[in-house]
Structure 1
């Protein structure tokens, strides 16, 4: 008798199958932003509606290209996005617009050149080695790989930012970031309705003291480094202090440096940690993939630490990272506000409309991917065969994530190090739930036991 039961697939978000009113949408969005995505978003090229104001979800690659590349100034980041993040990272690269964004981008671009990213790889390797030691020390006990990856990537960002050991309380900064994401990241009804910034958002006041302390510590560290100068390989802070806009010769002042530094600290550890946690979940889900990845890592590393030069020799490990980003993108939705009347995908867009790209739905769209809910790293073997605007874990166009190469190098080094040393087995009954507030997290953690090889 043939077994016709469906092949098991990794965890996914249950998408909406019925229309919701504004209060229901708000209630669900505060628990999981992705829960507002309708099921038809993985079957159609555009979905439109009204929840307090007009909105559109765009899954058509050509229309996405028009938004992110061809008419980028007509679709700035939405008021909701800015209201959520501005208290923490000011008017930094992530949310600045127009000329203010352009000069900052030009000044910061050399920081993430291939040479500088490669120069920082020993820090990534050392953090990966410390992670392997902690997993070894846990012995037969289950380890929450989400917590472990958060610790590891914060190790990296702390060391690449402040290699000189400046007076910067990492635990305090880490705590402030977590508090802010937990409280301030919950979408407020005021944000949905587009109320002005000066109206206080419930919950966001709770994290104000921690944020002030975090900014004061960053300002102090920047001033101390500017006076002392740097020694050895320049770190992120050194590179930002030296950076200038090649067109205007403008350099960042202390507050601009601080806002961008905090942006890189928040974005540079949280998103990579989540990608790695989901990758660990997936290799636990499919042991055959894990075995193949381990063989590749062991063949390349031969028992030594993983380096930046090894990354290009680990194509299957990179495919696992790419597939984890497709299935569980850290930024599950990006939101823009239309500035003028337009047509996207044959649909009328009016000034003030919220236009969203649900990256989570794009990565699982039935018209763009074969078996989109299945874990198949091999789909990234030929990256040229994938529509550039069907796969956007780092965005695209002029506002593509400036730290993408840094994050990918770090993720490959850490994943290869761990898989070369251990066989990971998931703890039964502890499946994570994909929940997005600001980022798409595996709620409940990624619990695994590790057997040393």
Structure 2
């Protein structure tokens, strides 16, 4: 590679007015992060509204854990996502969030996640077959990873083959993220939901159809039940809040199911795509990872039981999430007067945790723009609130263990079969709308691994 560091987002080095900030945010949300956020514990300003970016781990703990109810998710976040996923776990607040979380928590128990691992293995093997069929030509690993993770989420959600058109759902999700995800001036200024948003109307029909299909599939499954290993829909249908004994209605099930589909395939696909880019960027890391995989798998398929035996693969995933977190910014709206890092917080202020800048903050990481999976060799040495790819506190991502297991299985499977090399002149560009995507794709050549007598 011609560069010594992997690709980065150029951060702001001069003050911008509200119009330029909004224009830039529509192209790439991360571009509005000031460069000083990588060198300071906190940065504040005003762009229409007062805002604060917090990179200090103790202050972050206060926002996400100690004073959770004083910092609910911001109006911007809710207005962007509510049309697609309603008042589901991701954006609900207070008691409505708590009962849903209690009802859904058993769905992602270790046992249930392990039971779903054969689906992840099968999807990874199908990806290998597609890459082999493509022959020696370059492959866009972003497209491959999106296909793979959508295969997984489709099978773990609707394993009974319910009348659910996956292609239509996939298309509706992509349309919504690409169009509705663009920051609107109305969202930033806090206009109510009923004011139409530019660019969001065109995705309304697809969303309506997607919700209708999901409702039909849920009702059909509830009537006939399901045999074999329970999938996510079965587990959600059985879910009961142990405290209130409340179960989810069809609409609540649908909104949470769509949340899991959107979050469960998009974010993992992006993590794997960025991991593939980094493995092409650093062939030595790729070779070391492949050696670990070959030593553990000995030529067989990767299963859920292998995940804990592949610590270096997990370290690569962790380092990828530090450099390219799928959710690049967490945004909250302060409800009360407070003080963070000695700075005044007023009710209505936007408090952001720029996960992208947190992972590259020079006060928290040595040479933070460098790709080095060995940072995670001793996880206890890393401050818990300096590394937040899945958030933290009570609202930590409910599917984190599912996503990590899936990512390790897929990455290990690919490395066991191929040696990957980047296509010169095709470097991806990190761009965040709702999630941090490699714009332009991750183009690689895949050379089949030569089998040794032992392997």
TM bracket, shorter-chain basis: over 0.9
2:97 matched residue in structure 1: 101
Q: Deviations over 1:135-176 (max 9, x none)?
A: 111110000000000000000000000000001000000000
2:160 matched residue in structure 1: 164
Q: 1:199 aligns with which of 175, 185, 195?
A: 195
State the Cα distance separating 1:304 from its structure 2 match. 1.1
Q: 1:343 aligns with which of 336, 339, 344?
A: 339
CA distance in 1, matches of 2:202, 2:330: 25
Moved over 2 A (4+): none
Residue 444 (structure 2) pairs with residue 437 (structure 1):
no
Q: Deviations over 1:387-429 (max 9, x none)?
A: 0000000000000000000000000000000001100000000
CA distance in 1, matches of 2:250, 2:96: 16
Q: 2:147 aligns with which of 147, 151, 160?
A: 151
CA distance in 1, matches of 2:183, 2:164: 30
Paired residue secondary structure (1:49): strand
Aligned runs of 1:3-18 on 2, under 5 Å?
Answer: 8-18=4-14
TM-score by length of 1: 0.98
Q: 2:354 aligns with which of 335, 339, 358?
A: 358
Q: Deviations over 1:323-350 (max 9, x none)?
A: 0000000000010000010001110000
Q: Deviations over 1:179-233 (max 9, x none)?
A: 0001000000011111111111100111000000000000000000000101000
State the Cα distance separating 1:239 from its structure 2 match. 0.1
Aligned runs of 1:281-360 on 2, under 5 Å?
Answer: 281-360=277-356
Residue 94 (structure 2) pairs with residue 113 (structure 1):
no
CA distance in 2, matches of 1:150, 1:370: 32
Aligned runs of 1:245-264 on 2, under 5 Å?
Answer: 245-264=241-260
CA distance in 2, matches of 1:45, 1:106: 34
2:407 matched residue in structure 1: 411
Q: 1:390 aligns with which of 361, 378, 386?
A: 386
Q: 1:240 aligns with which of 236, 239, 246?
A: 236
Residue 79 (structure 2) pairs with residue 83 (structure 1):
yes
- Aligned-residue Cα RMSD (Å) equals 0.7
CA distance in 2, matches of 1:307, 1:219: 32
Residue 212 (structure 2) pairs with residue 216 (structure 1):
yes
CA distance in 2, matches of 1:125, 1:262: 23
Residue 415 (structure 2) pairs with residue 425 (structure 1):
no
Consecutive unaligned residues of structure 1, counting only runs of 5 or more, are: 1-5
2:18 matched residue in structure 1: 22
CA distance in 2, matches of 1:197, 1:251: 27
What is the aligned length? 448
Paired residue secondary structure (1:251): coil
Paired residue secondary structure (1:424): strand
State the Cα distance separating 1:360 from its structure 2 match. 0.1
State the Cα distance separating 1:234 from its structure 2 match. 0.2
Residue 262 (structure 2) pairs with residue 266 (structure 1):
yes
Q: 1:275 aligns with which of 254, 271, 296?
A: 271
1:399 matched residue in structure 2: 395
State the Cα distance separating 1:127 from its structure 2 match. 0.3
1:185 matched residue in structure 2: 181
CA distance in 2, matches of 1:53, 1:428: 43
State the Cα distance separating 1:7 from its structure 2 match. 7.0
More divergent stretch after superposition (402-411 vs 294-303): 294-303
CA distance in 2, matches of 1:7, 1:347: 39
State the Cα distance separating 1:308 from its structure 2 match. 0.2
CA distance in 2, matches of 1:79, 1:452: 49
More divergent stretch after superposition (31-40 vs 192-201): 192-201
2:366 matched residue in structure 1: 370
CA distance in 1, matches of 2:199, 2:305: 45
CA distance in 2, matches of 1:298, 1:135: 19
1:3 matched residue in structure 2: none
CA distance in 1, matches of 2:317, 2:422: 18
1:139 matched residue in structure 2: 135
